[in-house]
Amino acid sequence: MQRLEISDLITAVDPHSGRRLPVRRSEVVARLRAGGDRRAAGIVAGLPVDGDGVFDPRAVDRLLIGVHTELQRLSEELRMGERLVQVLGPLFTAIRAAGGRSGPYRLVDVGCGLGYLIRWLAATGALGADVELVGVDLDAALVGEAGRLAAAEGLDCRFVHGNAFALPKTATVFVSTGVLHHFRGPALGRFFQAQAASPADAFCHFDIAANRLAPLGAWIYHRARMRHPLGRHDGVVSARRAHSDETLLRAAGTAGIRPLLYEPGGTANPFCTTLRPVIGVRPQLEAPFRSALGRDARRLVGPEHLAPATR
C-alpha cells in the first residue's frame, strides 16, 4: 500500500483560483487509517479543528511553516545551493552560448516552500546578475513567509503565490527540490508536459534518489534533526515514494524535450547521493550544456542508457 504524506492531506487549494479549501480532519484520519498508517492517523487526530471538524487554517499554516523551517536545515546540510549551481551554472552558460534569446533570464522555483534556494542564490549571486530569481508556491502561508524572509535579508528575488505554470511571464528554466514525488501516476507526466508546452528552455528538478538506503537514511536524519512528528513521518514517506530513474526519464521525455538524469543510481555512491536532478533541455541545448559541464558531463545519462526492458 502506497503511504501518504500528511502535509499533502491537511491543506487543499484550488489550483486555478488559488483559493484555500476547507479540509475535514475526520476524512484525513479515515484515509490514513484505510491506508494502514495508524501512526499518521494519530498525528492528524491531534491537530486542532473548528466546531465543524474543519482544520484550523492558522494552526495548519503555523505547523507547516515550522516543519519547513526544519526542512531548510536539511537543504543547508546537504549543501543544496552548491549542488544546484553545479548543474544550473552550466545550463545558463549553455543558454547564453546558444544565443536563441538574450537576457535577462528567469529561474522559477516550482513549489519553493520557504524559498531557501532562491534566497541562497540571491544572497550568493551564484548564477549571475542576468538571472532573475522567482519562487512560486500554491501555499499562500509558505510563500508569504519566503517573501518576508527575503525582505528581512534584503535580497533581490521575488516570491509569488500561485501556479508556477500560469505566470504572466514564463520561466527560462524551471527548477524544484523535493517536489517530484508528490506527483503520482499521470500527474507526473502532466507536470513535465506543462513545462514542455511552455517557452522555457529547460528544467532541472531535484528529488530524493530512489535507492535501498534512502528510507533508512531519511529515518536516521529525521529522527536526529526534526522535532515535529509530522516532519519525521513525511520525511521517511517521501524517501519511500521517491520515483525510480526509469520513471523520471520516461515521464520527463515529452515532445520537444531531451530528458537527462544526473548521477543515476548505480553510478554514484548511494551514501552520498541523496537528491539528484532529472533535467530536460531543448534538443539544441544538449551539446552546449555537456560542453559547459566539462568532466561532470560523464554523470549525465539519457533514456538510451536504461536497461532495454525499462526503456
| Interface positions with ligand SAM (CB under 6 A) | 68, 71, 110-113, 136-139, 142, 163-165, 176-179, 182
Measured from the CB of residue 177, what is the shortest distance to ligand SAM in angstroms?
4
Q: Which is nearer to ligand SAM, 61 or 286 (CB)?
A: 61
Q: State the chain's maximal CA–CA distance in angstroms.
A: 61
CA angle 99, 105, 111 (to 5 degrees): 135
Please give the grid coordinates belonging to residue 224.
536526529
Measured from the CB of residue 28, what is the shortest distance to ligand SAM in angstroms?
17
Cis peptide before 259 (omega within 30 of 0): no
Q: Which is nearer to ligand SAM, 146 or 285 (CB)?
A: 146
Measured from the CB of residue 160, what is the shortest distance to ligand SAM in angstroms?
9
Shortest Cβ contact with ligand SAM: which residue? 111
- CA dist 257 and 185 (Å) reads 20
Measured from the CB of residue 60, what is the shortest distance to ligand SAM in angstroms?
12
> How many residues are given for the chain?
311
Residue listed under C-alpha cell 484550488: 14
Measured from the CB of residue 58, what is the shortest distance to ligand SAM in angstroms?
17
Q: Which is nearer to ligand SAM, 94 or 210 (CB)?
A: 210
Measured from the CB of residue 84, what is the shortest distance to ligand SAM in angstroms?
11
Q: Which is nearer to ligand SAM, 107 or 292 (CB)?
A: 107
User: For residue 237, which of 247, 229, 249 has the smallest C-alpha distance?
Assistant: 229
CA 46 to chain centre: 28
Please give the grid coordinates belonging to residue 285.
541545448
User: Which amino acid, one-letter code, is at 157?
Assistant: C
- CA dist 305 and 235 (Å) reads 30
Q: Which is nearer to ligand SAM, 171 or 293 (CB)?
A: 171
- CA dist 134 and 155 (Å) reads 12
Q: Which is nearer to ligand SAM, 9 or 138 (CB)?
A: 138
